[in-house]
Chain A
């Protein structure tokens, strides 16, 4: 890795520069991730808990198998009083997505890179329409997402095969849509967790937004055989896909969306890959429908988390209004 300019605000790595470990492997089987055993129309189990961070207005923590992320919502609070701040009739929403340096296979830097900025702007699109921003004039709402663990792999080569003195460098990309799938799952998680955190913050919204992701796969074809036409027939849609494609399948396209179930509206849509237009828009419609179905499943978890939180607050206020032992021990507070 090339030596970068030292960061003045952090401890810097040795000036010699360091490289991520390169693994020597005799077979590719050892590093291939495991297949998932769940049916393609089922999403992974979601753990979602809100209100864990006491010093911010709203927060949530989400876990979907390897993906772990924490969202905090700051505000609504007044805009900074500078001369350059324009009048804002609606609340100004900012979203930030940051991977922890240890969250992906290749260590990430401290400054936000392009994919993190991209995820941030997509999250903004997904949320901005759902918040009733006109109720919070002259204020800002900040949504900060910290990803602690993910399936994202970055794009570095770190497996090497050696046979008969000849080195072959094996990329860990077996297919093209790999990073889109990993980032798609991250984005869907961000959307679900962020709307849970916004609800925890008590910010008024039209509806909760839940994220869904689906990928279409086709049978793996021999690179030489040009049998593209019949591949459409064997299409397999997988909701909430993992990084490894199903056995013998190759991915075609991935769709990520933010969906408001009660209003039946899509607030953000991101499709990448190959979507044919031969049959009009049916291919795309099918993919989007699958993603919506995934988002609907996530919505159930979102509703549960919101309900749990409301119950917790009701219990707490109920307990506080009743005279308890701690209350009796309180010091007299007249000033």
Chain B
């Protein structure tokens, strides 16, 4: 960067304060640098965005040759690749398929005694295995080697999101025995287990939103080979020429993350000021004291079916998850206003996803 000396402030009684170039100031005092930007009117973030403005994002689906479904999401300088790989879980003759049909991992002592807890349990939730890999040299702050705290927390958060939102229909994961005449539960011979791997190629803040969007887009674009039970061989075979999509929910939920930056109080008393930033980059995340994530759906097709009572013109928004960590400055009113922003962000995501789906492959 250039070494422009910043202007010396016009204090004349005191000796001129120590001055730094903008880029140096950014490095040595990030908190102050951020505060000065945000106290400006109108508040502008160092990256040129307004507090509630999110980064533009791009989506590319199914660009990988070996994955059953994939998506590349780039939001600002954060880039993630999500690849989905299906593998087959064969239900052994002694197994009870109903274990997989229930979402809640059964709290019976049997599963604990088997020690299957650490291995993902035996519930439906265990069929989809998301993992985040950050040790790809995506940022100099993140060390190489086995997944650290952030990667583990993200993997667990994404696993919870997939389970809680019931994103994937269990029916599209079942593998049936087409030939038999027995009742439907006996016909289930296996399940597709989906390995959802998210690789972060470039990390510049707000990895959760990008990763979740990539997962939803990749699942939506996935095509699994058609699998069925072969009675003579007694194993599951796939047909390379036929495939089927994974059916997802109609109203797709999306996450929106906000970071709260504390500001110095000019009066020095009363409530401390703070500003919420939508879609923080890593420079802002480092200074944030509070992180708020809202998972919401925006239903674009409210007109169908029963008449909605909500006023027309406004999208019907449902919140499915709120997560707020650290700090104490976010109030209920903040959460309310953020939920509206989250809804508009979700609408943006849906629009870009539909555009991508409609585009010729």
Given the contacts A149-B65, A334-B9, A102 and B89 also touching, CB distance less than 8 Å: no
Question: Counting CB contacts under 8 A, is B92 at the interface?
Answer: yes
Mask, B40-80, CB within 8 Å of A = 1, is 10001000100000000000000011110010000001010
Residues of chain B within 8 A of A14, CB atoms compared: 89, 119-122, 126-127, 129, 193
Given the contacts A23-B240, A52-B202, A335-B17, A10 and B131 also touching, CB distance less than 8 Å: yes
* Chain B nearest CB, measured from A243 CB (Å): 11
Residues of chain B within 8 A of A10, CB atoms compared: 131, 147, 152, 155
Which of these binds chain B: A84-92, A160-168, A297-305?
A160-168
Interface size class of B (residues with CB under 8 A): 35 or more
Does the CB pair B204–A54 fall under 8 Å? yes
Given the contacts A14-B127, A16-B92, A22-B238, A149 and B6 also touching, CB distance less than 8 Å: no
Mask, B114-142, CB within 8 Å of A = 1, is 10101111100011011101011111110
* Chain A nearest CB, measured from B116 CB (Å): 4
- A74, A332, A335 — most chain B CB neighbours (10 Å): A335
Residues of chain B within 8 A of A165, CB atoms compared: 232
Q: How far is the CA of A149 from the CA of B85 in the complex (A)?
A: 13
Instruction: Please tell me which one of the listed residues B66, B118, B152 contacts residue A105 in the complex, with CB atoms under 8 A apart.
Output: B66
* Chain B nearest CB, measured from A75 CB (Å): 8
Mask, A95-124, CB within 8 Å of B = 1, is 010101111110100100000000000000
Total contacts A to B, CB within 8 angstroms?
A: 221
Does the CB pair B118–A30 fall under 8 Å? no
* Closest chain A residue, CB of each to CB of B203: A55
Does the CB pair A142–B137 fall under 8 Å? yes
Instruction: Please tell me which one of the listed residues A12, A59, A317 contacts residue B129 in the complex, with CB atoms under 8 A apart.
Output: A12
Question: Counting CB contacts under 8 A, is A18 at the interface?
Answer: yes
Residues of chain B within 8 A of A15, CB atoms compared: 114, 116, 119-122, 126
Residues of chain B within 8 A of A2, CB atoms compared: none
- Measuring CB to CB, which residues of chain B are less than 8 angstroms from any residue of chain A? 1-2, 6-9, 17-20, 22, 25, 29, 32-33, 36-37, 40, 44, 48, 64-67, 70, 77, 79, 81, 83-92, 95, 114, 116, 118-122, 126-127, 129-131, 133, 135-141, 144, 146-147, 151-152, 155-156, 159, 193, 195, 197, 199, 201-204, 225, 227, 230, 232-233, 235-241, 282
Closest 4 pairs (CB-CB, A-B): A144-B137, A102-B83, A72-B137, A15-B119
- A–B pairs, 17, beta carbons within 8 Å: A12-B119, A13-B195, A15-B114, A25-B240, A52-B202, A56-B139, A66-B65, A96-B144, A103-B64, A107-B85, A148-B81, A149-B65, A149-B66, A317-B2, A331-B37, A334-B6, A335-B18
